[in-house]
Amino acid sequence: MTSLTSAGAGDDLKIWLTKRTRWRGAEIVFWLACLLPYALTPDYLQLASQIAISALFALSLDLLLGYAGVLSLGHAAFFGLGAYTAGLLAAHGWGEPLTGLAAAGLVAGVCGFLASLIVVRFRGLALIMITLGLAQMLASAANSVSWLTGGADGLQGVDVKPLFGVFSFDLWGRTAYAYSLAVLFLVFLLVRRITNSPFGLSLRGIRENGVRMAALGAPNQAHLRKTFTIAAGIAGLAGALLTQTTETVSLQTLGFQKSADVLVMLVLGGVGRLYGGLVGAIIYMIARDQFSDMNPEYWFFWIGLMLIGVVVFLPGGILGGLSLLTRSWKRRAP
Amino acid sequence: MEEAGALNAAFSARGLNKKFGSLVVAHEIAFALPQGARHALIGPNGAGKTTLINLVTGVLTPDSGQVVLGGEDITHFAPAQRVRKGLVRTFQINSLFARLTPLEAVTLAVCERRGVAASWWRRLPDFSEAIAEAGEILSSLQLRSCATRVTSELPYGEQRLLEIALALATKPSMLLLDEPAAGVPKDESAQLFKAIEGLSNDLSILFIEHDMDLVFRFASKIIVMAGGRILVEGAPAEIARNALVREVYLGKARHD
C-alpha cells in the first residue's frame, strides 16, 4: 500500500492499461487446444494446416481493417505474391522452406509498401476501389506471364525441401500443421505486441476519427503506410505457407475470391479482436469442408446464410457475441 | 495594425484577406493575443468566424496577410505542422474517439506529441511518463473519475471537457475553442468556462461563444466580427457601450 501512495500520480491508470494487455486464461486454452488435432483428428491435419494459414491471412487483414480501419478488397494480392515467391524459389531449386518463407514475406512487404504510397492517400470508397484495382491488375499480369507463373494451369515443379532438413512435408500434414501453426503463433505474438503498443493505440485513433488525429498533429499517412506494409508482409507469409505445404500455386491465390473469403472469415469471427480472424477461419474452413461434402455445388449458399445471420444478429461477429454474453453473465453473478 | 504590439504577442493575425470568387469572406483581419490571454470572438452567424478559424489553423490559405505564432511566420504551414508548433483547436461538434476511453484518447495525444507514437514494440503501460501526464490533464478538467469509461457512454458535458483535454495534450501555446459549451445546459456551461479560466497562464485562448453572459464574464477582451471583417475590439465594458456593436449584434435577436 505504501508504494501505491508514494509512487507517481498515474499508477491506477497504468494498472488499468496493464490489465488490458495481460494474457487471459481463455487465450492460453485456445492455443493449447490448437494442438488437439494431433490427438483427436489425425486424419484432418491437412485441413488444420489450411485453417492455420487462413487464420494467419485473416490476422493480417484484422491489423489493417480492425485496428487501422482500412478496408482492403485486394488483400489477396499480397497473399499471392508470397505464394508465387515461395513457389518460384522452390521450382527453381531453392526449396528450403524457412528462407523461402522469409523471402516471400519480404517481397510482399516491399510491394505492400509501394502500394501504400498510393492507397493511404485515399479514404472510403476510393480506397476500397484502389485496393481492388491493384489486385485485379496483379492477377491479370500473373495470368499473362504464364511462362513464369504457369498461368491457369498453376505453377509446376514446386519441390519443397524438408523443414530444418529433417521433417519432410508428408501426405498426412503432420509437418505441415506444426509448421503453419508455429508461424501463426509467432506472428500472432508480433501482432499482439503491436496492438498493445502506442503505435497500436494510434491506429485505433485513426480508425475512430482520422480527422481529429490530424488535428492533434498525428502523421496519419505514415502510420498507415507502416501498417499496410506489415499487413502485406504477413499476408505474404501466409501465401508462402500455402505453397510450401501443398507444393502447388494457382492463380486463385491472387484472385478476388481469395480477398472476399478472408474478409468473410474476419467478419464472421469478429473484426478488431485479434482472435476474430482465427475463430472465423476455423468456422469458415470447417463449414466449407462439411457443406461441400453434403453438396459440392452449392456450399457457398450456406456460407452466405451464415454471414447474413452473423452480421444481423451478432454485429461484433461470433467473438463479439461471446463477449456480450460473458459480460452480462458476470453482471448477473457477482 | 500596431506592429510593436503584434511582435510581442503570443499570436497575431496580420491583414488577412480571403475571397471566394467575388465573395469577400475575410477582409484585413488583424488582431493579436498576448500570452495568457482569454479573448472572445463573437459575431452573428455568417460573420466569418469559421473562415477565420480555418485561416488561422491552415485549412484555408489567405490571399494575403500573415499568421504569426510566437514570432514565427506560419502562414504557409500545413495544419498538422501548426499543431506541432502549438496552435491547436477544438471543435464545435464533438470530434472524439468514440470507442476509446478518455485515458486512452489523451494518452494517445500525449504519445503523438512526445514522438513515441511510432513505437510499436514496447507496451503502452511502459510509457509511465506519458500516462502520468494524461492523468494530470484529465484531473485538471475533472475527468479523472471517468478516465476508464468508454467515451461514447460519457455524459455530454464530460465529452465537451474531453474535447478540450485532447487539445491540451498537444501542449498548445495558442488554443482556439470553437463554442466549447455548445449544447451544454446553462448551469453546467459556467462550470465548463471556470475550468477553461483555470488553465495554465502560459496558454493563450481565443474562444467563440454565443452566450453573452459567458462572454462578458470570462473574456478579458472581445473581438466582434461582422461581414468578414473585425468591427471592433475591446474590453467587455467598451464593447457593451459600443453603439455599432449594439446595432449590428447585441440589439438584434440572436440566432444560436
Q: What's the mean pLDDT in B35-49?
A: 89
What is the C-alpha to C-alpha distance for residues A54 and A46, in angstroms, rounded to an integer?
12
Identify which of B124, B135, B166 has the shortest CB distance to residue A216. B166
Q: What's the mean pLDDT in B107-129?
A: 92
Angle, helix A174-195 to helix A45-61, in steps of 10 degrees: 20
Helix (H) or strand (E) holding B18: strand B11-20
CA A299 distance to own-chain centroid: 23
Domain range for A102: 36-254
B82 and B178 share a domain? yes
CB A149 within 8 A of CB A84: yes
Identify which of A14, A197, A204 has the shortest CB distance to residue B121. A197
List of long-range contacts for A183-186, beta carbons under 8 Å, 24+ apart: A183/A52, A183/A56, A183/A101, A183/A237, A183/A241, A184/A52, A184/A53, A184/A55, A184/A56, A184/A59, A184/A278, A185/A31, A185/A34
| Domain total in chain A | 1
Identify which of B112, B123, B130 has the shortest CB distance to residue A216. B112
Q: Is residue A28 part of a domain?
A: no
| Domain total in chain B | 2
Percent pLDDT > 70 in chain A is 96
* CATH code for the domain in which residue B208 is found: 3.40.50.300
Length of chain A: 334
Q: Quick one: pLDDT at residue A283?
A: 92
Q: Is residue A112 part of a domain?
A: yes
Beta-bridged to residue B204, according to DSSP, are: B174
What is the C-alpha to C-alpha distance for residues A143 and A256, in angstroms, rounded to an integer?
14
Q: Check pLDDT > 80 for residue A73.
A: yes
Q: Distance, in angstroms, between B24 CA and closest chain A CA?
A: 26
Closest-CA residue of chain A to B167? A216
Q: Check pLDDT > 90 for residue A308.
A: yes
Q: What's the mean pLDDT in B185-210?
A: 88
3-state secondary structure (DSSP) of residue B133: helix
Q: Is residue A157 part of a domain?
A: yes
B176 and B80 share a domain? yes
Domain range for B251: 1-86+172-256
Closest-CA residue of chain B to A224? B118
Q: Is residue A241 part of a domain?
A: yes
Q: Quick one: pLDDT at residue A64?
A: 96
Non-local CB neighbours of B158 within 8 Å, separated by 6+ positions: B102, B143, B146
Q: Quick one: pLDDT at residue B69?
A: 93
CB A334 within 8 A of CB A326: no
Test B170 with A217 for CB contact under 8 angstroms: yes
pLDDT tens by residue, A21-44: 999 999 999 999 999 898 888 888
Q: Is residue A72 part of a domain?
A: yes
Q: Which of B141, B171, B201 is the last residue of a domain?
A: B171
Q: Check pLDDT > 80 for residue A314.
A: yes
- A148 — phi, psi (to 5°)? -95, -45
Beta-bridged to residue B73, according to DSSP, are: B68
Q: What's the mean pLDDT in B219-246?
A: 88
Q: Which of B154, B101, B158, B111 is closest to B132 using CA atoms?
A: B111
Test A10 with B166 for CB contact under 8 angstroms: no
By the 10 Å C-beta count (0-12 exposed, 13-18 middle, 19+ buried), A18 is classed as: middle
Q: Is residue A21 part of a domain?
A: no
**Of A222-226, A267-271, B248-252, which gets the smallest average pLDDT?**
B248-252
Q: Check pLDDT > 60 for residue B226.
A: yes
B134 and B204 share a domain? no
B124 and B196 share a domain? no
Q: Which residues in chain A are closer than 8 Å to B127, comparing Cβ atoms?
A: 198
B223 and B145 share a domain? no
Q: Which of B131, B150, B171 is the last residue of a domain?
A: B171
Mean predicted lDDT score pLDDT of chain A: 90
Q: For residue A2, what pLDDT band results from cuts at 50, 70 and 90?
A: very low
Q: What's the mean pLDDT in A225-241?
A: 97
Q: For residue B187, what pLDDT band results from cuts at 50, 70 and 90?
A: confident
Q: Is residue A133 part of a domain?
A: yes
Q: Check pLDDT > 90 for residue A291.
A: no
Q: Is residue A290 part of a domain?
A: no
Mean predicted lDDT score pLDDT of chain B: 88
Q: For residue B3, what pLDDT band results from cuts at 50, 70 and 90?
A: very low
Q: For residue A147, what pLDDT band results from cuts at 50, 70 and 90?
A: confident
Q: What's the mean pLDDT in A109-124?
A: 94
Q: Which of B108, B141, B171 is the last residue of a domain?
A: B171
CB A116 within 8 A of CB A228: yes
